[in-house]
Structure 1
Amino acid sequence: MNSKRFGNRSHNHPPLPPNLRLMATMVLGMASFMNILDLTIVNVSVPTIAGDLGVAPAQGTWAITSYAVAEAIMLPMTGWLAGRLGQVRLFMISTAFFTLASLLCGLAPSFQILLAARVLQGVFGAGMIPMSQTLMLQAYPPEKQGLATGIWAMTTVAAPIIGPLTGGWITDNLSWHWIFLINLPVGAICLVLVYALFKNRETPSVQKPVDFVGLGLLAVGVGSLQILLDKGNELDWFNSPTIVALSVVSAIALVILVIWEWYDEHPLVDVHLFTHRNFLVGSICMLVGTLAFFGSNVVFPLWLQTQLGYTSEWAGRTMALGGVLAVFMGPIVGANIGRLDARAVATFGFSMFAVYAYVCAQFTSEVDFATLATTRLIMGVGISCFFLPIITIALSGLSPQEMAGASGLNSFLRNMGSSMGTAIITSYWEHRAQFHHANLAENITSSYAPAQSYMNQLGQLGLGHDATLAMTNRVVESQAYMLSTNNVMLTCGILMVCLAVPIWFAKGPFVRVAADH
């Protein structure tokens, strides 16, 4: 794609007309949704994929890890790539090769080829999310950019909720290949329409030298951190020499990376963005808030499926109601964010999520589907008022030249938060279950009347001694995981409430710096 095909090189483009703006919103939101969906849609299909391609389920999880590692490494580079290639060109290249990699995944004859294709998906998909956000903001006038951000932010909320449900349905009713092949028509539509809408709206490109030292440090530091998070629970965390080694390597590489990029004349990652107060506050809240959101959203369906007997499809239905509400509320909140204090909206969002978490922490194992599903509506309100104001705060006061790099780092922190939430909160859930199991099991003695009464009732039903003990242990285990789930939800709620303090260190007004005329 040469520069002439993208027409005007000016960075200061007028907003798109309303009818074209609507089309741009739909297609850019669709591209962002498709990309984030691929982070989660594979999760429930791993056992099927592994069996079909002749590998163990534990090895099959690398289909998830390879994508996450590649995307995590590339996301912080988005600003540098956008400056070197131009924002429209970077989006087009990213989408084209992401779609091609999806085709390779769907047709992969072996697990090795699938892994290679998943790496390509992560490498090229990293540019799609921040560029979709940046281009969407470019299409709107300043007074309507809150609405644009609200619509875009809701795609990042809906995709992780819809992903497992969609992946499970496709795997059960079609074939796992289709979880990748469905990207082909979406990618093609995005390429055609984005080219038609933005071909004359390219941003200036500067041929900056490649920071090979920064690239190496970024790959080693972020790659080690992502593998550590993905494999930590499986390898028993710091009891594993592998995890310890990854921790040391990651810490050293990331510290040196920050120092190197701070002083480098042409940094690969613009760490100076963190000197902006609002970007720093927004980044902290995005990382911690996403950790709590994703952590609770991973553990809850796990509990439903492993302890309450829900299928993956019904667990997805339980989770979906809150996501649907968030999608509808996002644009409404976005359209009015300019009239409100973003810090107050975020605080309300944190509080509503905390209320949802507290209600969930009171559940018992007898809770019914209707209660579970309707409670998610509270979460939907909270998340609608969470992601949008944080993004608005983080990007406020930044120039258009800084926007691509800031969007990339913001997306990187969201991905890291989701990885950390999945790894840390799941591990916490397992350990708390073990703790509660041990405490409850201590009461299964001849001197504890309720336990003996329950076991006697099982004996009267005709169960033998071993069967009675096994049934009792199953009940203890179920209650232990119930208590552990309550602990997780309460912890995630507390994390959200704590964010109500740092968010007020942000300084208004929460608007972007206009481009130079």
Structure 2
Amino acid sequence: MNSSTQLAPPPLTGGKLVLATIAVALATFMNVLDSSIANVAIPTISGNLGVSVDEGTWVITLFSAANAVAIPLTGWLTQRVGQIKLFVAAIVLFVFSSWLCGVAPNLIVLLAARVLQGAVAGPLIPLSQAILLGSYPKERSSTALSLWAMTATVGPIAGPALGGWITDSYSWSWIFYINIPVGLFAAAVTWMIYRDRETPARKLPIDKVGLMSLVVWVASLQIMLDKGKDLDWFSSPVICILAIVAAISFLFFLIWEFTEKNPIVDLRLFAGRNFRGGTIAISVSYAVFFSNLVILPQWIQGYLGYRSVDAGLVTAPLGIFAVLLAPVMAKIMPKSDARVLATLAFLGFAGVFFMRSHYTTGVDPYTLVLPTLLQGIPMALFFTPLTAIVLSGLSPDKIPAAAGLSNFVRVFAGGVGTSLISTGWNDRTILHHAQLAEQSDVTNPDYMSAIANLHATLGGGMDQAAAFFERSLNAQAAMLGLNDIFWLSSMIFIVIIPLVWLTKPGKGGGGAAGAH
């Protein structure tokens, strides 16, 4: 029997629904947490394994590349294996690869384990969406999406703070070991509850050409983006070669997948107005949100002198309103137009980034944390309505493929956005430094007066005063560059609002309709 014609199993109820939701949510949380938890531990990992920090960053790069390749394969794998078997197998393999990461004696073993971990993590997020939607009654699908959104947003926020604390207090290996009990619990409970609710599997031919071209263009582009800044972008032959390979293989991939009878990735989903508009909107907004979440702690640590764990704690309040408002979103979503909620989220994000664009080098902790705390409000309005729009009107057999493809575009957009914004911040910092340095000339009486005052205050020689002035100038240039990024981010959120209004979902987004 074809999966599209099979009747969906009835929704879960009572304690079984609660337990199932916790298990599926933990699997999602474990995955998204791992995408950011290793970031702050890279210097420690590199030192312990006797490699440079640049080599250590491959721990992040290879995980991202493998994950990006695996996510869009979810739809095809689901039809081959079955939704529940694939989800449970992915959790178990994620646990195993986490253990391998923890016991890795050298960088080579660690990188191999991270590739495996990123690959098996691919199906977890899209399948968690599909499983939760199928577990709740149609009228409560907004609750399912709200709970999923809560775990998906809190993970990246908690990652840096938790990773910093574990690394400082215990060992970097424990940032991977903590997945073991969580994953085993999630896998056991999921199998116990859902094994009789398996979706039918059917033998599909393997689109080997499509798969290989996907691997080539995603891996080459991901590595190019991650290493571009370190290698000075297109002045490096390596980056140029990666860009050419990515461009050619991507074009080939598009042509092949649109003409293949059984494509590895169903790009025809983009023909749907809701899927197309919702995916673009959620991907662009996530790219801006996530890239700022990466560079903000870098600035806090590099120029304000905060420790890694403290920098993580500064971003932690982002999750407060996101968690508190999740039940509220579940209640108002069925009665609301998802486009209105998404618009309010974008306006909220724009306001928060506009507040940040007025930071100074002497910013106090309250001023630093307030926009982060307030950002939790648009975060609560962000994922649920946009996910509902993306999945609006799709049949049950299309949900895994659609969720996989939209999540792939979103995650990949986050990587692209991070590279672009990091490079933009660097370029704007250099520009502001050059503009400020124009006044730092011995012929400028104001400059010489400032150096004399510093000399009198600090003591020591004039060289020491000049060095202190240069450090202050660097900090000011970085701050001005970051303010430019914050202002641009604010404007982007305003500009993408019309994208949401090009969609036509049903009431409450209509996402649930596709799940039943």
TM-score, normalisation: structure 1: 0.96
Matched residues in 2 for 1:323 and 1:30: separation? 16
Q: How does 1:278-357 map to 2 (within 5 A)?
A: 278-357=274-353
1:174-223 per-residue CA deviation (whole Å, 9 max, x = no partner) reads 00110111100001100110011101100111110111001111100111
Shift of 1:478: 0.8
Residue matched to 1:407: 403
In 1: Cα distance, 2:469 partner to 2:485 partner: 24
Q: Deviations over 1:456-496 (max 9, x none)?
A: 11122323121111011011111101111111111111111
1:248 equivalent to 2:247? Answer no
C-alpha distance after superposition, 1:416-460 (max 9, x if no partner): 122112211111111111110110011113454443332111122
Greater shift, 371-380 or 391-400, is seen at: 371-380
Tell me the amino acid that sits aligned with residue 474 of structure 2.
E
1:366 aligns with 2:334: no
Task: Give the structure 2 partner of residue 454 of structure 1.
Answer: 450
Asked if structure 2 preserves the Cα contact closer than 8 Å seen for 1:221 and 1:249, the reply is yes
- Assess if the C-alpha contact under 8 Å between 2:133 and 2:512 holds in 1: no
SS in 2 for 1:265: coil
In the other structure, the counterpart of 2:273 is 277
Alignment partner, residue 492 of structure 2: 495
1:296-334 alpha-carbon deviations (Å, 9 max, x no partner):
111111111111111111111111112222122233213
In 1, Cα distance between equivalents of 2:35 and 2:379: 19
180-189 vs 413-422, which moves further: 413-422
Quote the offset at 1:514 in angstroms: 5.1
| 8 A Cα contact 2:388 2:512, kept in partner | no
Pick one of 73, 80, 93 that aligns with 1:84. Answer: 80
Tell me how far apart the structure 2 counterparts of residues 358 and 452 of structure 1 sit (CA, whole Å).
35
* 40, 45, 70: which one aligns with 2:41: 45
Structure 1: runs of 5+ lacking an equivalent:
1-8
Counterpart of 2:204 in structure 1 is 208
Measured after TM superposition, the shift of residue 499 of structure 1 is: 1.1
Contact (CA 8 Å) 2:455, 2:462: kept in 1 or not?
A: yes
Q: Secondary structure at the match of 2:197?
A: coil
Give 1:259's match in structure 2, choosing from 255, 262, 270: 255
Does structure 1 retain, via aligned residues, the 8 Å contact 2:101–2:113? yes
CA distance in 2, matches of 1:196, 1:107: 30
1:200 aligned counterpart, secondary structure = helix
Structure 1: how far apart are the matches of 2:511 and 2:148? 17
Matches within 5 A, 1:143-154: 143-154=139-150
Greater Cα shift, 233-242 or 403-412: 233-242
User: In structure 2, what is the Cα distance between the partners aligned to 1:253 and 1:140?
Assistant: 41
Q: Is it true that 1:443 corresponds to 2:444 in the alignment? A: no
Q: CA deviation at 1:515?
A: 7.5
Cα deviation code 1:117-152 (max 9, x no counterpart):
111101111111111111111100111111111110
Distance 1:514 1:293, change over 3 A: closer
The structure-2 alpha-carbon separation of the partners of 1:391 and 1:514, relative to structure 1 and needing over 3 Å to count, comes to closer
d(CA) in 1 for partners of 2:495 and 2:480?
Answer: 23
Partner of 1:511: 510
Cα gap change, 1:497 to 1:516, in 2 (>3 Å): closer
Is 1:118 equivalent to 2:118 in the alignment? no
Q: Tell me the distance in 1 between the aligned counterparts of 2:164 and 2:7.
A: 43
Query: AA paired with 2:486?
Result: M
Fraction of identical pairs, as percent = 40
| 1:515 to 1:46, Cα distance in 2 relative to 1, 3 A | closer
Please give the alpha-carbon distance, in whole angstroms, between the structure 2 residues aligned to 1:516 and 1:177: 39
Q: Which residue is equivalent to 2:9?
A: 13
1:237–1:193 CA distance, 2 compared to 1 (3 A): same
SS in 2 for 1:505: coil
Counterpart CA distance in 2 for 1:516 and 1:66 is: 33
CA contact (8 A) 1:150 1:335 kept: no
Deviations 1:8-45 (Å, cap 9, x if unpaired)? x9551110013221211111111101011111111111
Match of 1:484 among 478, 481, 484: 481
The answer to whether the 8 A contact 1:11-1:202 is kept is no
Give distance in 2, aligned partners of 1:253 and 1:126.
Answer: 21
Contact 2:71 2:122 in 1 (8 A): yes
Letter in 2 for 1:504: W
CA contact (8 A) 2:133 2:515 kept: no
Q: Which residue of 217, 230, 237 corresponds with 1:234?
A: 230
SS in 1 for 2:316: helix
Q: How far does residue 410 in structure 1 lie from its aligned partner after superposition?
A: 1.6
- Partners in 2 of 1:51 and 1:513 — Cα distance? 49
Cross-structure match for 1:70: 66
- Greater shift, 441-450 or 78-87, is seen at 441-450
Whole-angstrom CA distance in 2 between matches of 1:76 and 1:299: 27
Runs of 4+ in structure 1 displaced over 2 angstroms?
445-453, 512-517
Number of residues paired by the alignment?
Answer: 509
Shift, 1:352, TM fit: 0.5
User: What CA distance in whole angstroms lies between the structure 1 residues aligned with 2:231 and 2:323?
Assistant: 37
**Residue of structure 2 in register with 1:6 after alignment:** none
Q: What one-letter code is carried by the residue in structure 2 that aligns with 1:387?
A: F
Aligned partner of 1:488: which letter?
I
Structure 1 43/300 Cα, relative in aligned 2: closer, same or farther at 3 Å?
Answer: same
Query: Structure 1 residues 433, 466: closer, same or farther in 2, change over 3 A?
Result: same
Aligned mate of 1:54, from 50, 54, 73: 50
